[in-house]
Chains A and B, each alone.
Chain A
């Protein structure tokens, strides 16, 4: 009996070594430490959850052979120079099938060109501003191996303005930080107000700097102008300072803005003052359908947490892997160029946790970045901060997602 066991063990070791070369090598990169870590780590964990599910089911059958995913992890620390180094390393790696990840726009701008040069397929998720894709259309690249899997700023600003109109507001104030991100957000919102019929009057437009803690002066202007809502574009800690400042001067109007309002450094730092804040989301951590419940439960169990640090990032990482896996299956190859071609023309819909993805990407057209963008308006919902969590703000969004799962609709 003992000999049989040892024999089996030895055979097992030889067998796994023999098959080790027959894996699908996929790299996951992102900030797993530092300020953007909640997003990066949640994305990584979501992606690895999907990979372990696929591997547990035996992997993907490629030309009659079952192949499993092999993960390479790299922490870019949200630093551009590290991102560039990692991209160079990955670009020169043998047999790499693809890359998933990146949170920070700057990291995309400094690193992705190394991958593009070698034609390595990358799906950018969970975030990164519009510039990560527009850089390719501006350069007039004919054949692009970079895809994006995130609700871009354009969708978000459209939703923010739409929400303010739906809530019957007439006078709004714009608040934005003085970085490129904040200013382009302000411009997007102004454009959307015009596009959606000039139904909102901008009574105040105020900016703040990164690191500002005291927003009293700007808020008093907004209060004096009788704004009914603040449309805001910025990142976590300053957004929290705005909410806390509003509570201080006894101002009660809703804050509507980009998705950083759902991050823990806003939700925690604003505490009770953050309740009622609205922002676009791609995923809400509420177990409203069996599929979503299974994902949330699996995540909580695998990583021993009660709450996903950044649910949006986790779900996007998870779905990105399934889309990538579908492309591998269709290409019947681990060759990154063939996977790219498959991604641009996915025949079979992919059942994800965010949505039912029907033909998410198409052949790259430098005149239209949308060809390599998966998200459209219908894959996003409005989230609302409630007691330290992000929940659905409207019943309609909730119902739509439940309905989508029973009768899937593509974009």
Chain B
């Protein structure tokens, strides 16, 4: 096999992997503030993508649809926080696990009933002609995925590090009770993290839909891989998910080439099992010592 074909496999795999990374980043956002994650994150991706498509269909221009779509994602994130997470956290129970899964299932059937079961094309203003860089073809859509993922993650990381409200993230993440005593509202911070996580999910939906088309199952495959990425990288790793996401994407691409297309889901699952068995905190995770 020629080196350029292998390069092509790695590059297109890695670019798809960036989408996994973005969804995984949504997991780590909420995990850092509340040690909880939304298991229905994939449904959030799908529902926001469908809402954005509906906006486009009623005539909203593409560039206005993007912020509106992100807003819808944030609202959905807030809804998940209020409906499934808040009370469970206040009671220090693990009820959010079941509740987020149930909310996801509900969202799935609602979407099926509103938008139907068919896959639909998602229009994009980008041209479809690929560009060739060193013998590797990359489509403008894939470039938009890379740009979008880094832009959103960069902005949120900047916000977390520079803005006062962002620093509350770090504070609540480190010690919720101490942060409360210092006047940081933990509830508000958790709400904010869920809103951001919903926004990130919407971004993933808007970026990936023109490539994969939109259907009710859009999120199902994504969320499983994103979960693998988040766990392998470490749920509190921040940019670590990008590296792991890209690796997983290329690994899948190479596996389906060399082993067979039926095996493309295998690397993600094997990595997930390995990570949980060998290094539960993840490759980039911080091993935490809990003082009692």
Residues of chain A having any CB pair with chain B under 8 Å: 34-35, 178, 206-209, 211-214, 216-218, 220-221, 223-224, 236-237, 240-241, 244, 247-250, 265, 268-269, 271-273
Q: Collect the chain A residues with CB atoms within 8 Å of residue B264's CB.
A: 214, 217
Is B117 touching A214 in the complex (CB atoms < 8 A)?
A: no
Number of residues from B at the complex interface, CB < 8 A: 34
Quote the shortest CB–CB distance from A261 to chain B (angstroms): 15
The 8 A CB mask of B236-268 against A (1 = contact, 0 = none) is 000000000000000001101100011010000
Is B117 touching A268 in the complex (CB atoms < 8 A)?
A: no
Is A248 touching B12 in the complex (CB atoms < 8 A)?
A: yes
Is B261 touching A248 in the complex (CB atoms < 8 A)?
A: no
Seed contacts A224-B1, A241-B212, A273-B128; 10 additional CB < 8 Å A-B pairs: A216-B9, A216-B12, A217-B9, A217-B256, A217-B261, A237-B119, A237-B215, A247-B128, A248-B130, A265-B119
A216 to B132 CA separation, bound complex (whole angstroms): 15
Is B119 touching A247 in the complex (CB atoms < 8 A)?
A: no
Q: List 18 A-B contacts (CB under 8 A).
A: A207-B261, A212-B261, A213-B221, A216-B9, A216-B13, A217-B256, A217-B261, A217-B264, A218-B261, A220-B9, A237-B213, A244-B211, A247-B129, A248-B137, A249-B130, A268-B121, A269-B120, A269-B213
Contacts A217-B256, A237-B213 given: A206-B261 contact, CB under 8 Å? yes
A34 to B116 CA separation, bound complex (whole angstroms): 7
Quote the shortest CB–CB distance from A32 to chain B (angstroms): 13
A214 to B208 CA separation, bound complex (whole angstroms): 12
Most chain A CB inside 10 Å of its own CB: which residue of B117, B128, B130, B213: B213
Quote the shortest CB–CB distance from B5 to chain A (angstroms): 5
Contacts A217-B253, A217-B257, A249-B137 given: A178-B8 contact, CB under 8 Å? no
The 8 A CB mask of B126-140 against A (1 = contact, 0 = none) is 001110100001010
Residues of chain B having any CB pair with chain A under 8 Å: 1-2, 5, 8-9, 12-13, 16, 116-121, 128-130, 132, 137, 139, 142, 211-213, 215, 217, 221, 253-254, 256-257, 261-262, 264
Is A247 touching B8 in the complex (CB atoms < 8 A)?
A: no
A271 to B117 CA separation, bound complex (whole angstroms): 20
A302 to B261 CA separation, bound complex (whole angstroms): 46
Q: Collect the chain B residues with CB atoms within 8 Å of residue A236's CB.
A: 119
Quote the shortest CB–CB distance from A234 to chain B (angstroms): 13
A240 to B212 CA separation, bound complex (whole angstroms): 10
A206 to B129 CA separation, bound complex (whole angstroms): 25
A271 to B139 CA separation, bound complex (whole angstroms): 15
Is A269 touching B9 in the complex (CB atoms < 8 A)?
A: no
Contacts A247-B128, A248-B142, A265-B118 given: A220-B261 contact, CB under 8 Å? no
Is A224 touching B5 in the complex (CB atoms < 8 A)?
A: yes
Most chain B CB inside 10 Å of its own CB: which residue of A241, A247, A250: A250
Quote the shortest CB–CB distance from A232 to chain B (angstroms): 14
A271 to B118 CA separation, bound complex (whole angstroms): 16
Q: Which residue from chain B places its CB closest to the CB of A238 in the assembled complex? A: B119
Q: Collect the chain B residues with CB atoms within 8 Å of residue A250's CB.
A: 130, 132, 137
Contacts A35-B117, A35-B118, A269-B119 given: A248-B139 contact, CB under 8 Å? yes
A207 to B117 CA separation, bound complex (whole angstroms): 24
Is B139 touching A213 in the complex (CB atoms < 8 A)?
A: no
A299 to B142 CA separation, bound complex (whole angstroms): 41
